[in-house]
Amino acid sequence: MSSWLFLIPLLPLAAAVINFLFGRWFLQHASQWIATLAVAASFVLSIPVFLQIASDEQSISQHLYTWIPAGDFNIPVTLFVDQLTATMLLVVSGVGLLVHIYSIGYMHGDPGIYRFFSYLPLFVFSMLMLVLADNFLVLFVFWEAVGLCSFLLIGFWYRRRSAASAAKKAFIVNRVGDFGFGIGILLIFVTYGTIEYAGVFGQVGDATQTTITVIALLLFTGAIGKSAQLPLFVWLPDAMEGPTPVSALIHAATMVTAGIFVIARAYPIVSQSADAMLVIAIIGAATAFIAATIAVTQYDIKKVVAYSTVSQLGFMAFALGSGAWIAAIFHLVTHAFFKGLLFLGAGSVIHGMHEEQDMRKMGGLKKYMPLTYWTFLIGAAANAGIIPLAGFWSKDEIILGTWLGDQPIIMVVAFITAFFTSLYMFRAVFMTFHGEERFDAEQVHPHESPRVMTIPLVVLAFFAVTVGFIGFPPEDGWFHHFLDPVFPGMPHPDVAWSTIVLFAAISTVIALSGLYIQYMAYVKRSISPRGISELLGPLYKLAANRWYLDEIYDVLIVRPLVAFSMFLWRFVDAQVIDGTVNGVGSLVTYTSNQWRRAQTGLIANYVFAIALGAVIIIGAFMIFGSNLFE
Amino acid sequence: MNELMPEHFMFLSAALFIIGMVGVLTRRNVLVIFMCVELMLTAVNISFIGFAWEFSQLTGQIFALFIIAIAAAEAVIGLGIIMALTRQRDTVDIDEVRELRQ
Amino acid sequence: MPLELVHPEWGLIVPLLIMVGTIFALLVADLILPRDNQGAVAWVALAGLVASLASLLTIDWTAGESTFNGMFRADSFSLFINIVVLVAGILAVLISSSYVQSLQERGTMPMPEYLVLVMFSILGAMLVGAAGDLLIIFIGIEMGSLAVYVLTGFARRRMTSIEGALKYFLLGAFASAILVFGMAWIYGSTGTTSIPEISQQVGAIMAGEQLPEPALLLALLLLAVGLAFKIAAVPFHMWTPDAYQGAPTPVSAYMSVVPKVAGFAALARVLAEGLGPLSETWLLLIAILAIITMFYGNVVAISQRDVKRMLAYSSIGHTGYILVGLAAFSEDVPIEMSIGSVLFYLFAYTFMNIGAFAVVTWLQHRGQGVDLDSFNGLGVRSPLTALAMTVFMFSLMGVPPLIGFYAKYYVILAAIEAEMIWLAVAVVLASAVSAVFYLRVVVAMYFNDAEGEWRPQTTPMLGFGLMIMAVGTIALGFFSGPVLDLAMNWVDAFDV
Amino acid sequence: MDSLPILSLMTYSPLAGALVILLWVNAPANAARWIALVAASASLVFSLIMLAMFDRGESGMQLTESFRWLPDVGIEYQLGVDGISLPLIILTTLLVVISIIASWDAIQTRVREYMIVMLLLATGMIGVFVSLNLFLFYIFWEVVLIPMALMIGIWGSANRIYAAVKFFLYTLAGSLLMLVAIVATYQSYFEQTGERTLNVLQLTQGDYSTDFQMWVFLAFFLAFAIKIPLWPFHTWLPDAHVEAPTAGSVLLAGVLLKMGGYGLIRFNLPMFPDASEAFAPLIVVLSVIAIIYGAFVALVQTDLKKLVAYSSVSHMGFVTLGIFAFNAQGMYGAMIVMISHGLVTGALFLLVGVVYHRAHTRLIEKLGGLATNMPIYASFFGLFMLASLGLPGLSGFVGEFLAILAAFREYQLAGIISMAVVILSAWYMMWMFQRVVWQRAPGEPPDPDDPELKLANGDAPPTVAGGSGDHHEDVDPRTLTDVNAKEILTLAPLAALTIWIGVQPGPFMDLMRPALEALLQPFGGTGF
């Protein structure tokens, strides 16, 4: 079967190219079907791959061609599938397919639809290649490629300054991460002489502990950028400028999890360095907490979901950091479904509200768009970790993992964050669908979205409910056994049922308390959110202003660099270097003007010059060159 | 007691030559300068003759003859140019002839 | 002692005899032809020059025969000098005939006299080239100079012309006096005026001694000074800018080449051949003169607006380059390149420098001045002329593949073969400086817009001359092989 | 040597075209254009034939031609190609054809002269890459200067004369010392072997004393460093680029800069290995400075051409960085960067030319929203923008990554610092792209549903006064037409090659392998 493995990424690529070349003049709306079919095909093709991996636990690989034959730096392009990849294949192509279907409805009538449906499959292609790569450089290539697609799709409505800026910001911030990632690859090559997974992982131990730590951290810098960890997550909220399906696919379900995927992929290296894992855990926890606090204060429905994404990515990160590898991947999978669902739901709301995103102008939409409501509710509940939805199992397991990986502080942070999670999720639900209608009924006529959009919602909702059970019972589910080969030598502490139940109970209580508070606040109105925000004062302002990260970057990095560049250009280039060059020129001219004065025009002086010259020469020779005076 | 030695010729010619040179350097009148040049040539002639006398050859004397001839030609041309000058501008003072400079 | 008259070998002096004949023909033509229509004489002169050039073939130069008791020598060196000056003469006649006849200069300029003077100075230069005796060198140089003094003042109604002539004449006479005084001292300290004998005598004197005796040294320096004046080496160059600027343009063209050639021929004959054994003494002097000269000339040229004056300074700069070749001379191991590069440079210089002046002449014919602005927009007004001027400028700048580059290359080669890398570096630095003012002309021609009135006029002869020189400047570089071989033969000429 | 003198044919067919135009005194403009196009295409065809005749297995010079020219001074007419020069030659011939097509409509004044100059330039550039005799090389090297200076000075924009003169003097001054060095090498070889030759392959055999190598190396290096241009010898480049006509910029960036890198590879390394080793650290430092410096300065440019020019300084830094790491990746990197930079930057200048031809300004703040009416243009622009900022899968990445890797192997810090360019290049390129191709022009009414307007913040662009001296009224992109067939014809091949090299550089690298291996022998040939 490995013979047609290459079709899985190729079909979306083909669709992308066709739509890009012919979309504008020939295909127009037809492009959407080409794209959707291609992605569907690659989804269908990935199923047997998954099944084969599941049945016989052999990894598959297919060599395509040699990319860079630069002496001993020889980079093949080889597709490689193991359990981790297989899982990602299904997630990517599956969610990708649903988003494609959804987009048919969402993007209907947009003049640039052919661009949309060439960028989107291009993204699917890149993401598939990213997970299929068998060496770090190819991984890096498509790491950048997904970044490009995200750039193109965020800037899809490029005539908006905000969209264009957001796209640029996303790409550049990601590049900051890639800077470290790239150096990591260089270091890997210099250390191990190869950058193919097999080769590297085979000889991890050969390097010194510091080297391993440095490599691990460098790889993680890449993840920080791509998976929107502190301090680089600033690009993700802005990325919401893109069409909502894009946010669902790229900025929730797949691309942003690439960082998590890479760390998991680099398990043999990362797991060797306790320091690196600690750093990862801390950064992850911090990210999860900060993002959650911000999410509570946002009014833009998409921004809420976006920050929740950042927060969830933080969960995955510190899961990895504290050794709960499988839990992280598990959460990655469940998160893909419920977060995708949440975004699509939000999109459906926005669609129904005529592109209105501010929750303060919504409310009581429940009766206008019931299907959207229920699906969104499921997603929110899953995200908040209400038993028995998917989010509950994975998140609960992560928190458990932190305890098992004895990181008590992280665990506490995790619980607090979980509380905030349910706060902002249900805040969004109640502000949007309950309470009185705050929109002006003359202009806005809320309506349910068309079938093509709601069906994906339902499918995703179904998974958001069920997918959690692949990880049941906790620590010992089918999913764990499936992924086990990917993380060889990972400790399997056998956990007492009591512990599991205890943790489950705690997180359920937390989740429900959040739900209760928000119900009181936005439905029963017995608590005034404004009152609380005034109570918190500066803390609230801090969160509401996204912890001032953008401003800090602007003042500390952007402006100084621009000033420095101006200095280099205006002073070093124009004054120093060119000044020297022109200085030589003017010096020669000046000398010329001085020397020409010797030419007085007076014969007397001319004769004198001749005589003087003769005398000097003769004199010089008489003194130095002869024995006249002896 | 004092018979003629080659040195006498040489010192005489050297003296004349330097006198001529100084004249050229100091005087401003074209004609005088020209005369000084002629004086220098004469000095050369003397030294040639002197050497010829010393070596008792004819070569030097022939050379001197040629110098005299050429000096004559030079005189013709020089005076011609000076005439043209005076025709253009009524002066023989070289300091007034400095349109071309720098 | 008795002088026995030997029967001279007239065969060896045929080229000179032809020149003399031409001169008589011109004088006769002057008598018979009416004043107002003397265009034909130009053809007479050309015919004479070409015939003389052709007659060079009748002589076997490699034999190095000589006549008049070795006073006149027909060797490869003199052959090369003859070729250069005759070619220069042809080009000069081509570019000047129309200028002299037309009324560019106030007051008439009688064609035949002009040509006669040109012929005389060429004859002088040929004599210098063939000189085997100081006397011949003196006569040749004077013959050339005297003629050129007159030519400089030939526009006798224009004060600047007179002024140039006067300055040139007075300084020239002064320098000749110094030169001939030097000759006297040579004669005094060696007892002969024949160059080969001088070299033997000096060799004998120097045998064993490190330092030359003062008299000989004095003689050497006086000669060097006298000749340095003729080739316009700093600080004996003062006359050059004024004379070039004052003289009628074709004359400037002519006098920028032939007297220089004569001067270098004399230098080579006297210093390299006659005083070769003294070379340790004079090489350094020449090298220093070379550097001072090339930098002074090129630097001062930058601040000139008058193109003729600019070219005058540039010609001073080129003197510096050529001196480098001479400074590469060495007595014991003959470096073929040294004098060879000097000769080749003179050859190359003939084409590009006369060419540059010719374009100025061409512009004056069309009512333009001689300052830089009169070149504005030439690229549009007359693309071909502009192209020719561009070729000359870049060639003078030493940009490949033009002949000027080859000349400079050989000079540098000579310097480096003589292990004087600093001299080579000086040459290229000076060329870099020179690029500035040569480029300025090109900029004016192509980048600036035309201004001033434009008097179209047909000057076939001048155009033809321009074409020859442009083509020569381009082509003779590629095929510089034979020319170079010819130049290299100086070695067997000066049996060093 | 086989019958067909393919190299000479390739080199002189443009010259022949130039002569035809020159002699046909009153040729109509179109005739001149067509003659030029035919001549250039002929040379392109010949270069492709050469590629076909080329034996990829061989490391030495191939298709050599030679005849004795001025033997007594060691000057011979010797041509030949190897895996190093071949790609650059084809790049040259291709770019020349493209430039001629690109100036078809853009140049309306003095077309005859323009085409003559263009063809002379072509012959000079090809000659530089094929000549094996130092003298011949020097001739071609200098011959390139004059037509380029004329092109800038005559057909350039506002401040052209200053730029032309600066370009000419700068580069001439640089190359003159090389002339002395050439002669010195010749002499030194003559003293060693008693053989008078300027043939590079022979001169490489000689062994020169170390201090001799030192100064001769520097003399060569100066000439090449100015051409590349390496910091701090780069200041002629922005002026020249800004003032030159589009085709001029294309050839300047596409080929002339490569002559510097080629010279280093062909002459400095083989002839003076000791000096190369000795100076390597210094040069690596300069390269890193150039890479970062160029990127920073590009960050604040307001003139499109200046921005691309400074980005060139940054990119070309990778060439020297790779070369002087002395390992396989470095050499491959340097070569591929040269090719890729030729394609990408050439294309970027073409694109700038397209918009300049329509909107008559190159000022970034005057432009905007080009994507709306010029979708094809926008696509090309995006592609080359991405290639220039080193997006993997496009040509830029392969070369630069290899160069960085090579540097990282030898000088870790240099590798790390130069890696930072991935951020900076993304920054300035994306900023430019966002301003010019996306958003809206200042001339247009703003977007009503732009949230930016409601909460008016967002990154304020670094606004800098100055830039090109062209007229400045705002441009309304709605009046601009998309690229026409001719322009697509010029851009498409570059795009294709850019993608090809990015996706599968293998064939190109196989072409160079033998030559590069041989080149690296004296340096231990690490990395193979």
Both A420 and A564 in a single domain?
Answer: no
Alpha carbons A15 and A31: distance in angstroms, whole number: 8
Same domain, A534 and A610: no
Could you tell me if A79 and A3 are in contact, meaning their C-beta atoms sit under 8 angstroms apart? no
Q: Domain for residue C4, yes or no? A: no
Q: Which value does ipTM take for this structure?
A: 0.90
Q: Taking 70 as the threshold, does the pLDDT of residue C108 lie above it?
A: no
Cα angle B15, B19, B25; round to 5: 145
Q: Can you tell me the distance from the alpha carbon of A10 to that of A38, in angstroms, rounded to the nearest whole number? A: 9
The share of chain D scoring above pLDDT 90, in percent, equals 70
User: From CA D123, how far away is CA D112, in angstroms rounded?
Assistant: 17
Q: Are residues D238 and D362 in the same domain?
A: no
DSSP state of C221: H
* Domains identified in chain C, total number: 1
- Residue C2 has what pLDDT? 55
Q: Work out the pLDDT band at D447, boundaries 50, 70, 90.
A: low
Among C413, C419, C431, the residue to mutate for chain D (most D Cβ within 10 A)? C413
Least confident of A63-72, B79-88, C27-36: C27-36
Domain assignment present for residue A17? The answer is no
Strand partners of residue D65: D79
Q: Which of C389, C446, C449, C474 would best serve as a mutation to test chain D binding (most D beta carbons within 10 A)? A: C446
What's the Cα-to-Cα distance from D29 to each of B96, C120, D104, rounded to whole Å? 58, 51, 10
Chain B partners of C191 at a C-beta cutoff of 8 Å?
Answer: 51, 55, 57
Q: Are residues A263 and A170 in the same domain?
A: yes
**Mutual orientation of helices D395-410 and D375-388 as an angle, nearest 10°?**
10
**Digit-coded pLDDT (tens) for D13-44:** 999 999 999 988 888 999 999 999 999 999 99
Any domain includes A508: yes
Nearest CA distance, C306 vs chain D (angstrom):
20
What contacts A404, CB < 8 A, 6 or more positions away? A322, A323, A324, A493, A495
- Tell me how many domains chain D contains: 2
H/E run at residue A69: strand A60-70
Interface test with D, best of C302, C447, C491 (most D CBs within 10 A): C447
pLDDT of residue A131: 93
Q: What are phi and psi of D382, to 5 degrees?
A: -60, -45
- What chain C residue is nearest to A599 in terms of C-alpha separation? C238
pLDDT at D463 over 70: no
Q: Is residue C181 domain-resident?
A: yes
Please tell me whether residues D470 and D517 are part of one structural domain. Answer: yes
A288 within domain boundaries: yes
Quote the minimal CA–CA distance from B3 to chain C in Å.
20
The residue segments making up the domain with residue D224 are 1-271
**Pair D238, D294 in one domain:** no
Of D252, D271, D290, which residue constitutes the final position of a domain?
D271
Which distant-in-sequence residues (6+ apart) come within 8 Å of B100 by Cβ? A601, C160, C163, C164, C167, C241, C242, C245, C246
Q: Which residues of C touch D145 (CB under 8 A)?
A: 399
Q: Secondary structure of chain A: what % helix, strand, coil (to 5)?
A: 75, 5, 20
pLDDT of residue C477: 87
CB contact under 8 A, A603 and B100: no
> What's the Rg (C-alpha) of chain C?
22
The answer to whether residue A81 sits within a structural domain is no
Closest-CA distance, C359 to chain D, in angstroms, reads 20
Measured between CA atoms, how close is D287 to chain A, in angstroms?
16
Residues 6+ apart with CB under 8 A from C43: none
Task: Give A133's DSSP letter.
Answer: -
* pLDDT score for D467: 41
pLDDT beyond 60 at A363: yes
Residue of A nearest to D387 (CA): A148
Would the pLDDT of D455 be above 60?
A: no
Which residues constitute the domain of residue C421?
10-493
Residues of B in contact with A595 (CB under 8 A): none
- The type of residue at D304 is L
Taking the Cβ of residue D2 and every Cβ of chain A, the question of whether any pair is shorter than 8 Å is answered with no
Which of C174, C218, C221 comes nearest A607 by C-beta? C174
pLDDT tens for each residue of A277-311: 999 999 999 999 999 999 999 889 999 999 999 99
Residue-level pLDDT at A495: 79
Residue numbers of the domain that contains A630: 599-630
Listed residue (D378, D518, D408) closest to D82, CA to CA: D518
* List of chain D residues whose C-beta atoms are within 8 Å of the C-beta of residue C424: 180, 183-184
CA distance to partner chain C, nearest, from residue A600 (Å): 9
Please tell me which chains touch B, using 3 or more CB pairs under 8 Å as the contact test: A, C
CB of A304 closer than 8 Å to CB of A345:
no
Residue D212: burial class (beta carbons within 10 Å; 0-12, 13-18, 19+): middle
Q: Tell me how close the Cα of C446 comes to any Cα of chain D, in angstroms.
A: 7
Chains with 3+ CB–CB pairs under 8 A to C are A, B, D
Task: Name the residue among D202, D198, D178, D176 with its Cα closest to residue D186.
Answer: D198
**A275 found inside a domain:** yes
| Cβ contact D183–C409 (<8 Å) | yes
The span from the CA of A592 to the CA of C430, in Å, is 13
Least CA distance to C478: which residue of chain D? Answer: D69
Closest-CA residue to D338 (of D86, D513, D137, D14): D86
Looking at D271, D291, D315, the residue that finishes a domain is: D271
Does any CB of chain A come closer than 8 Å to the CB of residue D420?
A: yes
- Verify whether the Cβ–Cβ distance A604 to B100 is below 8 Å: no
* Chain B residues lying within 8 Å of A596, measured CB to CB: 102
The chain-wide mean pLDDT, for chain A, equals 89
A378 and A320 assigned to the same domain: yes
| Pairing verdict, β A73-81 and C65-67 | unpaired
Q: D484 CB contacts (<8 Å, ≥6 apart)?
A: none
Sign of CA dihedral A89, A94, A99, A101: positive
CA angle A385, A391, A394 (to 5 degrees): 110
Same domain for D288 and D204: no
Substitution target in C234, C238, C309 with the highest count of A β-carbons within 10 Å is: C238
List CB contacts (< 8 A) between C173 and chain B.
34, 37, 74, 78
Cα C76 to Cα C59: distance, rounded to the nearest angstrom: 10
Q: Specify whether D138 is located in the same domain as D186.
A: yes
- pLDDT at residue C204 greater than cutoff 70: yes
Chain A residue numbers with beta carbons less than 8 Å from the beta carbon of B28 are 604
Residue B4 to chain C, least CA–CA distance (Å): 17
Q: Using a CB-CB distance cutoff of 8 angstroms, which residues of chain C are in contact with residue D161?
A: 443, 447
Residues D400 and D528 grouped into a single domain:
yes
pTM of the model: 0.92
Give the residue on B whose Cα is nearest the Cα of A608. Answer: B25
Give the closest residue to A426 by CA, choosing from A524, A540, A514.
A514
Nearest Cα to Cα of residue A115 among D379, D171, C205, C371: D379
Residues D259 and D300 in one domain: no
Within-domain flag for C401: yes
Averaged pLDDT, D264-284: 94
**Same structural domain, A617 and A536:** no
Neighbours of chain A (3+ CB pairs under 8 A): B, C, D
Residue D229 CA to residue D215 CA, distance in Å, equals 20
Flag whether A364 is in a domain.
yes
Q: Given D371, D422, D509, which is nearest A182 (Cβ)?
A: D422
The answer to whether C309 touches C241, Cβ cutoff 8 Å, is yes
Residues D136 and D35 both lie in one domain: yes
CA gap A364, C223 in Å, rounded: 115
* The pair of three-digit structure tokens given for residue A20, joined into one six-digit string: 């890009």
Q: Do C416 and D168 touch (CB under 8 A)?
A: no
The minimal CB distance from C245 to the residues B51, B85, B100 is found for B100
Judge: A604–B25 Cβ closer than 8 Å, yes or no.
yes
Provide the mean pLDDT of chain C. Answer: 90
Q: Considering only alpha carbons, which residue of chain A is nearest residue D420?
A: A179
> How many domains are contained in chain A?
3
pLDDT at residue A626 tops 80: no
| Cis amide leading into A491 (omega within 30) | no
Q: Residue D79 phi/psi, 5° resolution?
A: -120, 155
Residue A526 exposed, middle or buried by CB count within 10 Å (0-12, 13-18, 19+): exposed
Do A570 and A492 share a domain, yes or no? no
% of chain C at pLDDT higher than 90? 64
| Mean local confidence (pLDDT), C450-476 | 90
Domain-located, residue A37? no
Q: How many Å apart are CA A102 and CA A95, to the nearest integer?
A: 10
Quote the tokens at residue A93: 């192509």
* Spatial distance between the Cα atoms of D90 and C432, rounded to a whole number of angstroms: 33
Residue A330 belongs to some domain of the structure:
yes
Structure confidence at residue C339 as a pLDDT band (50, 70, 90):
very high
Q: What average pLDDT score do residues D240-257 get? A: 93
Of chain A, the percentage scoring pLDDT greater than 90 comes to 52
Are B100 and C163 inside 8 Å of each other by CB? yes
**pLDDT tens per residue, range A156-197:** 988 888 899 999 999 999 999 999 999 999 999 999 999 999
Over 80: is that where the pLDDT of A493 sits?
no
